[in-house]
Structure 1
Amino acid sequence: MTNVIAILSPAKTLDMNECSRNIEATTCRFKAKSNSLAKIMQTYSSKKMSSLMKISKKLSDLNTERWKSFGKSNNASGPAAICFRGHVYQGFEAWSMDKRSLNWSQKHIRILSGLYGLLRPLDRIEPYRLEMGTALKTDAGSNLYEFWGDSITKLLKKDIKETKASILLNLASLEYVKALDTQSLDVNVVDVNFLEKSKGKTRFISFHAKKARGLMARWISMEKPKSIEALQKFNIGGYTFDSSRSEDSQLTFTRPKP
């Protein structure tokens, strides 16, 4: 018997109107570091931000305004897993989770973030866009990987110790996993693949896989699996475990293309 801790990527899509409902938010554990990043971002013009993030003028205008409001007492905010509304979080659906499952996820689910480092599902966030792969210059280096250094890994190690986890379920994208030194974590790191079957072929389809990662994060929050064998029983959204495509360090789930 063992315990599982899982990691997710954040989302670019946010819904700040819905995320302030009657769920008490917790405080991000890297608040000082995220505030220092916000101060840097507040110096960026819309044009400069568009170039940095490789986004449209419309998006850079929106995010310039977001950074201007960041940290103000009247700025919209709420629990991360409820504010995030991308494909992963449409699968996770923290907003409809029962209290017991939500409390479990607060201890066992972690969200990697370019701005906040490592979030618990109920940690308070403000509207932002800052992907981990951004080449943002800081006093620590030329990108966010150098800014965060080993601090995210150290905090995750602490969480792993507190939960007595021996399995780290990787439900995050490579861009975010690169912020971790997984080799130094004293756990079995298990990657997860979600594939679609159609016309005799098996393919990876990004937006389906993203939602499936969220579905699995929700499922483990409800089922609380304690072994690799228990994780293999995941069967939400039409997915079933495919032993022929799996290894000790990688679980693959397939389904007929919807």
Structure 2
Amino acid sequence: MLIVLSPAKRLDFAAPPADLPATQPRLGDDTATLLKTARRQTQAELRRLMGISDDLARLNQARFKAFDPQATDIGVQAALAFAGDVYQRLDARGLSPADLDWAQDRLRILSGLYGLLRPLDRIQPYRLEMGVRLKTRRGASLYDFWGDRISKQLNADAQGQAEPVLINLASQEYFGAVDARALRIPVITCHFRETKDGQTRIVSFFAKGARGAMARWIIENRIERPQDLKRFDRDGYAFTPALSTDADWVFIRS
């Protein structure tokens, strides 16, 4: 069983534990190719492409220029570096080395710049959302750029798993980079909803936290079978069969 998450815009590059191992992203050649295009963007172009302020455009232009695609000892492990709502609940810095070692074979993070990351893959500071329409020789968007590469890597990662199923805890924007035609394993997407006054709805802030909480729960409990996900009950969520299908599992709390 594999689990996929989205990355986060907010980053935390505080030093990791000295004894924590670090690995290298596996789609590095593609990252280096994409970086060449990103570096050619002016501040104005980055501001328009990403919908960000002048200050953030200036910061990210500097990040692209400082990025060293050949470096193997720069950066922080991905699961520790991302610091958004999902990753606050995942709290990778609070996981044991054994937990992170287990997650290394099962947790994957989608990325606009890196394609697909493992928790211990070392990353450098960047910002490049998957939905950005950055034109490259491969097409008009990052979806075009990554093509079927992410799906092929997920297929390879699923080999040898007890149950080769992909648990989707990513946003629609990022999971759109997984080419469904090239993917050779079934997908289960988990949805988290809130109930109030008899109505259920998705609240983005809570849903993001729930994705991180479920990822941590899977790691801590060494969940290997998709059916065991139905036992997830953190923060009051409960699996709701009446609203679920084989491919979409709904968890609701009051």
Q: Please name the residue that 2:55 is paired with.
A: 58
Contact 1:49–1:60 (CA under 8 A) maintained in structure 2: yes
Question: Alignment length, in residue pairs?
Answer: 253
Q: Please name the residue that 1:34 is paired with.
A: 31
Task: Return 180-189 or 68-77, whichever deviates more.
Answer: 68-77
Stretches of structure 2 that go unaligned for 5 or more consecutive residues are none
Q: 1:7 aligns with which of 1, 4, 9?
A: 4
Deviation of the 1:75 alpha carbon:
9.1
Contact 2:152–2:182 (CA under 8 A) maintained in structure 1: no
Partner amino acid, structure 2, of 1:7:
V
C-alpha distance in 1 between matches for 2:182 and 2:142: 20
TM-score by length of 2: 0.93
- Asked if 1:223 corresponds to 2:248, the answer is no
C-alpha distance in 2 between matches for 1:74 and 1:60: 26
What is the percent sequence identity of the aligned residues? 42
Q: Please name the residue that 2:179 is paired with.
A: 181
For 1:53-202, list aligned pairs within 5 A: 53-71=50-68, 77-202=75-200
Task: Give deviations 1:85-130, integer Å, cap 9, x for gaps.
Answer: 0111111111111222211110001111110001001101111011
C-alpha distance in 2 between matches for 1:169 and 1:54: 30
TM-score by length of 1: 0.92
Say which SS state the counterpart of residue 116 (structure 2) adopts: strand
C-alpha distance in 1 between matches for 2:74 and 2:54: 23
Deviation of the 1:76 alpha carbon:
5.6
Task: Return 20-29 or 76-85, whichever deviates more.
Answer: 20-29
C-alpha distance in 2 between matches for 1:244 and 1:212: 20
Say which SS state the counterpart of residue 190 (structure 1) adopts: strand
Task: Return 237-246 or 105-114, whichever deviates more.
Answer: 237-246
Say which SS state the counterpart of residue 195 (structure 1) adopts: strand
C-alpha distance in 2 between matches for 1:181 and 1:40: 23
Partner amino acid, structure 1, of 2:11:
L
Deviation of the 1:227 alpha carbon:
2.8
Task: Return 172-181 or 12-21, whichever deviates more.
Answer: 12-21
Deviation of the 1:200 alpha carbon:
2.2
Task: Return 26-35 or 70-79, whichever deviates more.
Answer: 70-79
Deviation of the 1:52 alpha carbon:
1.4
Task: Return 120-129 or 29-38, whichever deviates more.
Answer: 29-38
Deviation of the 1:132 alpha carbon:
0.9
Contact 2:231–2:238 (CA under 8 A) maintained in structure 1: yes
Say which SS state the counterpart of residue 6 (structure 1) adopts: strand
C-alpha distance in 2 between matches for 1:144 and 1:224: 33
C-alpha distance in 2 between matches for 1:15 and 1:6: 22
C-alpha distance in 2 between matches for 1:132 and 1:92: 21
Stretches of structure 1 that go unaligned for 5 or more consecutive residues are none
C-alpha distance in 1 between matches for 2:91 and 2:204: 19
